Structure formats: structure tokens, C-alpha cells
Structure 1
Amino acid sequence: MKPSSAKHDCNVLSVRVSKQWAEAVGELLLAIAPSGFELVDSEHPSPPCDLEPGFAELRIFVPARQTDRALQNLLRGLESLRRACDGFDCFVMPARPVHPQDWEDGWKRHFKPVVVGRFYIHPGWLEPAPDIPWPVRIDPGLAFGTGLHPTTRMCLERLDAAVPVDSFLEAGCGTGILAIAAAKAGCRHVVAIDVDPEACRQARRNAALNGAGHVMIKCEDVGKTKGSYELVAANILSGVLVDNAEALTSLVLPGGALLCTGITEDEQELVEGVFTSCGLRLDLAMREGEWVLCSFVKR
């Protein structure tokens, strides 16, 4: 598992694990590399040919000089998961060198326009047709939310059904795709938050590319966010949703809605229970593959 000694800027560390453990490993990887991780499974446009059905490969990209420490932290974290979780197992792939540009630009090979309702998510090198109602140009860079993942698609679908709304908050904004989409749909007061400075930089860049300068992007935790909104969307890990349920609920106006996703089917009951105990009513649940979106209404 020693990285190559060849001169390079970055190493990729990869873990293969049963998909039931992907979220737990993802949370561990985010603690090591807050800029994010890449998840590759059978739904990925180009999965590894030797990736077994039901498994996922999670990858982080770390500077070469930080690889040894990151690998040690990764191995310690995985060992803790083994001790804490019955049946947990994983395989750590050998570290390999990669130029960071290979990751930042690699998504371009697979990124295609995505149509969700009236939204048209497109890369910068493809111009939308003039009759497209709400084109959204997205450059993911090092963050997430390209419109390709089921959770993002479901959020866009619900946003398309909910607009027009006067105020919108995206919690855990990543690329800012949902906030920008809300702005394109005519929402006047739009805020996006994320704890990752890299995500906030990408979101600001994407907002500028879309002429959505009125979108306010803040690098802060949801627990410190102020205000009340007609519609709040949180496309983040279920554990983060549960931990911040009261804070998210407090940000929704009476009669407003909260969209929660990043939830797998086996986590749905827990998430529903936590948010209904906060005074919300489950309005509907959507599913795409193993992923679930819960739409709550504030009484």
C-alpha cells in the first residue's frame, strides 16, 4: 500500500466495501479529506471491470506529501469500524499516483446534459437550446452534485414541482446546483451553505457562470445558519441529517417544506422518525434505486 516514489502531485487512496457500509466509510473519508470522496459503483458510467456486484469503491485524492498520514488515519478508522460493526469488512487498494488535474477534469469524459423537469443541467462546453426554460451550467471540480446522482435528480424533481417559492436554502450545497436551479426558477432569496471551503468556492464560481449573483453562499455549519425559508433542501449523509434535525427544522417557515435525501432505504424509517418528532409531517417519499428522498412539511 506504499505510494509510488515517482514525482507527482497527488495520490489516490481507494477502499472497496459492500454498499451497505459505503456511508460509514464515506464519513470516515470525509474526516480525512474534507474536500470529498469519489464513489464508484455499478451505476457509475465507467465502473472498474473487477468491481463485484453489490460493492462500491470509494476514493480520496490527497497531496503526495500527506499520503502516509492519510493512509495511517484511514487504516485506523477502518479498524475502528471493524471493531464497532459486526460483519464489516473492506479491501484497501494500493495507493497510486495521479495528477490532481486527472480528477478535476476526469468527470468531463462522462458528464452529459441531464434533463429533470424544466431544468437542463449541462457542462460549459455544451450550449443549451434557446427554448430550454432553466439551463444550469455546472462545473463540479472537486465537489459534488453534478445532476447525475439519484439524490440530486430527486431534489431537482421536487424543486421543479415546488417553484415558485420566494426563499430557498440549500444545506450542504457542494457545487451549488440546487441553489442555482432555484435562482433560475425565479426564487428571489437564495442561500447555500457548506462546511467545506472548496465546495463554497466551486459554488460561487458556478453561480457566477450562471448569472446567479444574488445567490448567497456561506461557509458555515447548519447549526449556525439563521433565517426562515419556504423551501429547504439537504442532500447530505443521513447521519448529518439526524444530528442536525432540530436545526434544519427551525429553518423552515410554517407551511414550508424540507427535502431530505442522501438516505438509503434501510435508513428511511430512522430519518422519518427523527424529523416527525421535530414537528414535521411526511408529505411524500421518493425512491430511485437504493436512494430515498423524504419531503416534510412544517405544521
Structure 2
Amino acid sequence: MRRPARGAGAALTRLTVTVAAGDAEVAAAEASALLGCGFREGTGPAGAAVLDFWVPPPAADPARLRAALAAIGVAAEVTAADEDPAWMDAMLRFHRPVEIAGRLRIRPPWEPPVAGLHDVVIDPGMAFGTAQHATTRGCLELLCALPPGGPLLDAGCGSGILAIAARRLGFDPVTALDHDPLSVRATIDNARVNGVALTVARRTIGVDRLPDAPLVMANLTGTVLRMLAAALAGGPAPTRLIASGMRPDEVPSVAAAMAPLGLAESRRIQAEGWATVLLERG
């Protein structure tokens, strides 16, 4: 096994963010954007979400991160601790290759490819998605079940994992959009590493016009998915839409928002308390 380029022994500080479970997703997104790195999620006392970020010591400012989260309405406990070199071993254990539907293999750069599977390489230090989360796996599983070919829009691309996987599966052209400049940068970099061509741009759902595509993928939140439905109403409706980032009890409201587009739920995957749905035109 080849270790990451950062190497064991790198001087890092672990920032630990503890928030209510319901605030975990928005806290993770805000902290990742501020710190420019990915994270490890665990569960603390009384079901609280515990998010660990490994950052260079100059970036380890608990007060700044706590204030940034408070500004978006998230109450958080933030602590900093010097990390010993074992942090890399922990990351190596957590970020394992993920195989999807016998077709895709999502792996960190220190793991080798496997013959016969479409290879997607994602650096977990870059931010926002390495297929460890159930919502990402659900999107990829539903994508693998669709006939390949034709344009695809990844709305809220994060690390670009869904867009890159779509290109590997034969969808073309693929457009990847995100409001966060760090996500746009990570997607461009990951596309380059994987040798795939994507159109990547910074766009905000609900503000900017989105490009038309017969297939849309969106791993967001229930609130943003409902905003996406309104945004898509301004142009030709997609034929299919894969939506994730929802809790199961949010699916009905998202499906209702998509109904005016002629889209209705045709398949659902539920795992680890999350729901991913395929909506199709009748």
C-alpha cells in the first residue's frame, strides 16, 4: 500500500466539532469550506455528531470556526488538539475503496485499481465526498442501473465524484456545478487526476440559471432539493432525476416539489438513515 503524499508524521492539529445530529450536514459543509479539507464523522454522547478535521496548526482556530458556525445558526463545541502521526493510519483505515454494483470502484490514491471495474480516484484530503457516505453510494448505485449515454448535470458537485463516475459509465457531456469555489476547484482537480472531461462552473441553485440535461443528479439537502425543483422549472424538465441528501421523512415533500416537472418516484434506496430516490417522467 502506498501512503498519501502528505505522509505519516506531518505536523497537524485535529479540530473536533460537536453539534446536534440534525446540524451535522450543514456544519460539515461550512467547516469543510472554511478549512479546505475533508472530515471524519462519528457519534458522541446523546447522539451528537462529532466531526474531526485535520489541519495545519496555523489553520487550527477553534474560536473562528465556532463563530462561523454560529453565524449560520449552528451551536457547536469546537476543540483543538495536537495530533500524533497515527492520524494518517486512522485516515487509511477509514477511507477504504468502495465498489458499486460490480461496475465502479471509488478509491483513494494510495489504493491500486482493480481490473474490470471503472476506476474513480478521489483524494479524501480535498473535501466533500469519497463514497463513504450512504447518500453518495445511493446515487452511484442508481446511476449504475440507468442506461448510459447523453448529457448529465451534477447539481452540487462537491468533490466531483458523481460527475466523474458518470463519465466513466459513458454519460457525455457531463456538467458539474457548485456554489462553493473550493468544491469547483476540487472537482476540476479530481477530473484532471482521473483524465475525464467535465464542464465545471460555479453556480448557485435558486439564483443562477441551470443548464438543461435529461438526467440530473443532486446530492444536496431536502431544502435545497426543493429549491432545485423550482430552478429546473425554468427550462425543459429532465427525464430522470437522482436526488439524495434527504432523511426518509423528507422524501414526500421533495417528491411533491418535483411533481410539477412531471417527475415521480420510481425507486428508492434507504441506508444509514438516509434516502436516495430516482424520479422519472411517466
Please name the residue that 1:38 is paired with. 39
Residue 107 and residue 229 in structure 1: after superposition, are their counterparts in 2 closer, same or farther (change >3 A)? farther
TM score, norm. by length of structure 2: 0.79
Residue 270 and residue 116 in structure 1: after superposition, are their counterparts in 2 closer, same or farther (change >3 A)? same
In structure 2, what is the Cα distance between the partners aligned to 1:259 and 1:243? Answer: 15
In structure 1, what is the Cα distance between the partners aligned to 2:137 and 2:76? Answer: 30
Please name the residue that 1:179 is paired with. 163
Matched, 1:116 2:100: yes
In structure 2, what is the Cα distance between the partners aligned to 1:251 and 1:20? Answer: 33
**How far does residue 77 in structure 1 lie from its aligned partner after superposition?**
5.1
Matched, 1:260 2:223: no
Matched, 1:271 2:254: yes
Moved more, 256-265 or 277-286: 277-286
**How far does residue 221 in structure 1 lie from its aligned partner after superposition?**
1.6
1:125 aligned residue (91, 98, 110): 110
Q: Is the 8 A contact 1:231 1:258 kept in 2?
A: yes
Q: Any unmatched runs of 5+ in structure 2?
A: 1-10
Matched positions, count: 268
In structure 2, what is the Cα distance between the partners aligned to 1:218 and 1:76? Answer: 26
1:194 aligned residue (178, 186, 191): 178
Please name the residue that 1:72 is paired with. 67
Please name the residue that 2:7 is paired with. none
In structure 1, what is the Cα distance between the partners aligned to 2:60 and 2:39? Answer: 20
In structure 2, what is the Cα distance between the partners aligned to 1:39 and 1:229? Answer: 33
The SS at the match of 2:258 is helix
Matched, 1:170 2:154: yes
In structure 2, what is the Cα distance between the partners aligned to 1:193 and 1:199? Answer: 9
Please name the residue that 1:87 is paired with. none
**How far does residue 270 in structure 1 lie from its aligned partner after superposition?**
2.1
Please name the residue that 1:14 is paired with. 17
Q: Percent identity?
A: 31
Q: Please list the CA deviations of residues 83-112 of structure 1 after superposition, one character each: whole Å capped at 9, or x if unmatched.
A: xxxxxxx6614344669x998996444211
TM score, norm. by length of structure 1: 0.75
2:270 aligned residue (277, 284, 287): 287
Q: Please list the CA deviations of residues 42-73 of structure 1 after superposition, one character each: whole Å capped at 9, or x if unmatched.
A: 5xxxxxxxx23633113567854865343334
In structure 1, what is the Cα distance between the partners aligned to 2:96 and 2:79? Answer: 31
In structure 2, what is the Cα distance between the partners aligned to 1:207 and 1:282? Answer: 31
In structure 2, what is the Cα distance between the partners aligned to 1:115 and 1:93? Answer: 34
Two-structure CA RMSD over aligned residues (Å): 3.3
The SS at the match of 1:244 is helix
Q: Is the 8 A contact 1:169 1:232 kept in 2?
A: yes
